[in-house]
Amino acid sequence: MILKSVSIVNFKNHKSLKVNFSDHVNCFLGNNGVGKTNLLDSIYYLSFCKSYYNSIEFDNINYGQDFFMIKGDFIDKNQVDFMINGSLVNNKKSFKFNNKKYDKLSNHIGKVPLVITTPIDANIIVGGGEERRRFVNKFLSQIDKDYLLNLISYNRVLKQRNTLLKDSNNFNLNEDLMNAYDVKLSNFAKIIHQKRQDFISLILNNVQSYYDFISQKNESIDILYHSELNNYTLFDLLKKNREKDRFLKHTSSGVHRDDFVFKINEYSLKKSGSQGQQKTFLIALKFGYFDLLKSNLKITPLLLLDDIFDKLDNNRVEQIIRIINKNEFGQIFITDTSFNRIDSIMDKVNSVCKYFIFDKTGLYEEKFKK
């Protein structure tokens, strides 16, 4: 899959912008705050119907405006052109595929497979369990529509159950309705839990392989899936904890409380890993994620690398370049604050590279690497 061009109106700091991309490597260069990451985010938006960096939709609108629009022109694996339009107008989000509006945004997920790695991904390691669940959910939602639909349904029923708990007291809990919610939650959770287990089994070897190659060290990687459903059915847990949930006014058991523990040499990467180990693991995790997407969808995803080379030693940069030169990744989008660093790195990349150079006024120069 190739993204030929993006047109932006009023998205973040870009009032009006159209760019045509190289089929291979595209580098967005400039100081922090000039718009290069916002351009990267517009590409992500076309894939996931939301910003990677900002969950509040209104804040994605250019200051002083009341709407934004993003349009992407693509070529699929069969060399067929298609177009995606995303917009927020009158606080209503809309997505269209070849000018046909989606009834549900979830129907779009997976149309444009994409992997992104950014500095804020450190939260996947050092943040709470919701960060790691979000990572797993994004991957599985792109390759497995059944997972996405079960996750949406689970969250909907969970919200209904929590509302019932909040609205109830010791005298008027609707037991029949609660039982119905428990059955539904249990059925959805069983599918979600199994698919998450399968995901860990699939991705672990890929992550270990990339980690070994990038770090050039013999360090053992592991990913553990912590879930109450490893030992019990959710229905039994909900039944056991019903009085506790009535007191807490929320559901205390379920896949919404799952976590994933990353380990290196049997130690917690979160607690004991160095910055270099953590960043290398994240890159290996995203590259392993990329390989699984590609093999499952039979489509080469877009790869977005935000500030990936910052704070990496030269040896690890060299290894990443070797991975890129294997031509497994297709179209790549890179941001960096240093033109000289990227220019030096691109000297070693065996692909056509196009530079997009930003200053405080926005995009002011486009040129191909000589």
Identify the CATH number of the domain in which residue 70 sits. Answer: 3.40.50.300
Residues 36 and 71 placed together within one structural domain of the fold: yes
What's the 3-state SS for the chain? Answer: CEEEEEEEEEECCEEEEEEECCCCEEEEECCCCCCHHHHHHHHHHHHHCCCCCCCCHHHHECCCCCEEEEEEEEECCCCCEEEEEEEEECCEEEEEECCEECCCHHHCCCCCCEEEECHHHHHHHHCCHHHHHHHHHHHHHHHCHHHHHHHHHHHHHHHHHHHHHHHCCCCCCCHHHHHHHHHHHHHHHHHHHHHHHHHHHHHHHHHHHHHHHHHCCCCCEEEEEECHHHCCCHHHHHHHCHHHHHHHCCCCCCHHHCEEEEEECCEEHHHHCCHHHHHHHHHHHHHHHHHHHHHHHCCCCEEEEECCCCCCCHHHHHHHHHHHCCCCCCCEEEEECCHHHHHHHHCCCCCCEEEEEEECCEEEEEEECC
Residues 183 and 132 placed together within one structural domain of the fold: yes
What pLDDT was estimated at residue 312? 84
What pLDDT was estimated at residue 218? 85
What pLDDT was estimated at residue 217? 86
Residues 31 and 7 placed together within one structural domain of the fold: yes
pLDDT at 203 over 70: yes
- End position of a domain, from candidates 298, 329, 354: 298
pLDDT at 133 over 90: yes
pLDDT at 94 over 90: yes
Residues 276 and 314 placed together within one structural domain of the fold: no
Instruction: Evaluate whether 203 touches 292 at the Cβ level (below 8 Å).
Output: yes
304-337 tens-digit pLDDT: 999 998 878 888 999 998 888 877 888 999 999 9
Proportion of the chain above pLDDT 70, given as a percent: 99
pLDDT at 170 over 70: no
Q: How confident is the model at residue 67 (pLDDT cuts 50, 70, 90)?
A: very high
Residues 291 and 331 placed together within one structural domain of the fold: no
Q: How confident is the model at residue 303 (pLDDT cuts 50, 70, 90)?
A: very high
Residues 294 and 228 placed together within one structural domain of the fold: yes
Question: Based on the number of CB atoms within 10 Å of its own CB, is 298 exposed (0-12), middle (13-18) or buried (19 or more)?
Answer: exposed
Proportion of the chain above pLDDT 90, given as a percent: 78
Number of domains in the chain: 2
Residues 154 and 21 placed together within one structural domain of the fold: no
What pLDDT was estimated at residue 171? 61
Domain span at 306 = 1-113+301-370
- End position of a domain, from candidates 265, 298, 331: 298
pLDDT at 124 over 80: yes
Least confident of 29-33, 168-172, 204-208, 242-246: 168-172
Residues 80 and 126 placed together within one structural domain of the fold: no
